[in-house]
Amino acid sequence: MDGKLASFSPARDVQVRVLVIEDNAFIALDLQTQLEDLGCNVIGTAVTATQALEVARRTMPDLAFVDLQLADGSRGQDAASALRTELNVACIILSGSLQSVTDEERETIRPFAMLSKPVLPHELSSVVSRYQDGHR
Amino acid sequence: METSIDMGVLFDSLPTAQMVFRPDLHVVAANRRYCEMLGIDRSDLVGKRVFEAFPANPDDPQADAEEELQASADLVVATGEAQEMPLRQHDLMLKDGQYAVRYWRVLNSPVFADRDDPAKVTHIIHTAEDITASILGDRVHEAKRRAAMRGADLAYFEWCPATQIVSKTPQLDTMFGFAEEEQSKPIQPFLDRVHPDDLPGLEAEMERVSRTVGADLHHDYRVVWPDGTTRWLIVRGESIRNPDTDELLVVGMLLDVTHIKESEARLHEAISVRDLLIAEVNHRVKNSLQMVTSILSLEAKGAEDESARASLSAATARVQAIAAIHASLYEDNDLQTVRLDNHVGRLVEHLRASLPATDDAPEIVVDIEPLRLSIDKAVTLSLAINELVTNSFKHASWPDEGGAVTVELRQNGHEQIVLEVSDNGTGGADGLLFEEIASSGLGARLIRGMAAQLRGTIEEERGNGWKTRILFPG
């Protein structure tokens, strides 16, 4: 399917496969819509850290958008750390409290970007094209 | 050479206060210094018994000076040797009948005036020194020390590093959770109760101070009592050389500051709870704004009707102008104000990306001074910029080259800030001029409302290109 679509969008040689980890339904849906408009393939969403890992193991995404405070009290930092160490998935952290990520966690996660909520559309598009440029 | 000098004149001129009495305490002579010191006429003294001239203070329970003097005189007579009397108080009656406290050091020396019996003590020279000042000085000193010791939160100690013995006031025992004792003790049991984390530091400090005479001791540490109670102590002192033994002594005070440390800890806790609450509220605000912009943008994308979609897009842009401020809030230590050059830059980036990017679309040029503004005003200003720039984009046509909307913000003299949004476009959307759009459109009403909210005034110039200026107090 990717190959077929790619042939229709010459600007994007390969679609970026994205996992959205966000427990707020509106934000998750908006993010998914915006990312698809930007040419990404959103291959899954998750609302807890555990679920994020399950989905990621199954779908092997290139990139994950990670909110920090997830449903059931689990932490986006833990999800992102596991994604990085276990599956080497790049993460973009997206939160209203970026300062809660410790230096140690940042070292483990090596986030591709950290965006403060509320995220403006142009910030999202610029970080996505930066990723696409690096992985063409 | 004149060698003869009247012995009476000599006696009278002696700088020490002296009085001569017989063994039966009758006064036979007193020199000028003595009379001056006691404030008495010689005639009131000579020929009388000593204590007729100096009646004892009836309020002084220990006023048995006469007996003591008689005993001393008897001893001088018996031994033929001078006797120093025990240091004592004998108050002096002043001319007005009141008694003044006086302490005396007295030496009684024998006089052998009987040529026939040279071993017989005939008179006694009484040399008196008024030491009231130094005695009272010591008393004041003692009283001060006692006052300082009062209460259980201050103790005094002397520690001898050579013997490891500490002499202390009983309060020191209390501070370490021991029963109060008066006597000196080895220091080890006290050290055994110092918090293990604080002991190396304290020992190093004691070691340092006991190496150098005159070194200052200054250390805070905790002690843990057998029941688990932890107390905070401060020790302040210095090392001195004991003049009697030539040994080095560390003398000082111990202060129990547990209550101060505890209030400090409570304060720290309260501050961190407050910081946590602020962070939580901030997080919720940002998340809620994200949710609102997400809902609006989903609604806008889902709208079938063109004008409904336009309205929702405009609403989304307005909320995003507010959101832009909140994402950059609390990023530095200043929680009250926002740096406008950073913030407006972010907002304009957003406008560039969201406004139509046709080939003849104008550039957005930004010239913002690095002013700080309160959050309330910054939010209002963001919305004003959003409306004004969006309005400018409604021009029908732009110059072939260099079409631009310029956003300027600068300090204008004292405490006034000027926002100026100008462009070089011509004609309004559908041929309408700004005035016509402005009078009917929500955007223009919002601009007026926001200028009012900033307590500012609006100046507008319309010709080839529009220029709108909002002047408001900073």
Closest listed residue to residue B362, CA positions, set B402, B394, B389: B402
Q: And the tokens for B177?
A: 């959770």
Nearest to A27 among B282, B291, B353 (CB): B291
Show the low-confidence residues of chain B (pLDDT under 50). Answer: 429-440
Residue of chain B nearest A30, judged by CA positions:
B294
**Between residues B121 and A7, which one has the greater pLDDT?**
B121
Please state the length of chain B.
474
Q: Is the pLDDT of residue A7 over 50?
A: no
CB B332 within 8 A of CB B371: no
What pLDDT shows up at residue B371?
Answer: 87
Cα B261 from Cα B281, distance rounded (Å): 30
Residue A29 contacts B, CB cutoff 8 Å:
yes
CA distance A62 to chain B (A): 24
Q: Do A100 and B279 touch (CB under 8 A)?
A: yes
| B contacts of A24 (beta carbons < 8 Å) | 287, 290-291, 294
Residue B388 to residues B12, B351, B405, B417, Cα–Cα distance (Å): 109, 11, 9, 17
CA distance A134 to chain B (A): 22
What is the distance between the terminal CA atoms of chain B, rounded to a whole angstrom? 101
Q: What is the largest CA-CA distance in chain B?
A: 150
Residue B421 to residues B273, B291, B405, B437, B460, Cα–Cα distance (Å): 43, 30, 7, 17, 10
What pLDDT shows up at residue B149?
Answer: 60
Sequential DSSP letters for A16-82: PEEEEE-S-HHHHHHHHHHHHHTT-EEEEEESSHHHHHHHHHHH--SEEEE-SB-GGG-BHHHHHHH
pLDDT digits (tens, 9 = 90+) for B442-453: 777 888 888 888
CA distance B305 to chain A (A): 19
Q: What is the largest CA-CA distance in chain A?
A: 42
Question: Which single residue is written with the structure tokens 């009388």?
Answer: B48
Q: In sequence order, what are the beta bridge partners of B342?
A: none
- Best residue in A29, A120, A127, A128 for a mutation probing chain B (most B CBs within 10 Å): A120
pLDDT digits (tens, 9 = 90+) for B4-28: 788 888 888 888 899 999 998 899 9
Q: And the tokens for B235?
A: 């020790």
Cα B166 from Cα B373, distance rounded (Å): 63
Peptide bond into A118 cis (omega under 30): yes
What pLDDT shows up at residue A10?
Answer: 43
H helix or E strand, kind and range, residue A94:
strand A90-95
What pLDDT shows up at residue A9?
Answer: 45
Q: Do B320 and A29 touch (CB under 8 A)?
A: no
Q: Do B290 and A99 touch (CB under 8 A)?
A: no
- Cβ-based interface (< 8 Å): residues of B facing A: 279, 282-287, 289-291, 293-295, 297-298, 301, 320, 323-324, 326-328, 331, 346, 349-350, 352-354
Q: In sequence order, what are the beta bridge partners of B49?
A: B26
- Best residue in B277, B281, B283, B344 for a mutation probing chain A (most A CBs within 10 Å): B283
ipTM of the complex: 0.82
Nearest to B286 among A31, A116, A121 (CB): A116
Q: Is the pLDDT of residue A55 over 90?
A: yes
Binning pLDDT at 50, 70 and 90, where does residue A86 land?
very high
Residue of chain A nearest B276, judged by CA positions:
A100
Q: And the tokens for B287?
A: 């998340």
| Helix, coil or strand: residue A101 | coil
Query: Helix B306-327 and helix B442-453: axis angle, to 10°?
Result: 20
Nearest to B350 among A26, A69, A120 (CB): A120
Backbone angles phi, psi at B460, to 5 degrees: -125, 140
| Helix, coil or strand: residue A136 | coil
This prediction's pTM: 0.56
Q: In sequence order, what are the beta bridge partners of B394?
A: none
Residue A102 contacts B, CB cutoff 8 Å:
no
> DSSP character for B57?
P
Q: How many CB atoms lie within 10 A of CB B270?
A: 10
Backbone angles phi, psi at A15, to 5 degrees: -75, 135
Query: Helix B375-392 and helix B306-327: axis angle, to 10°?
Result: 140
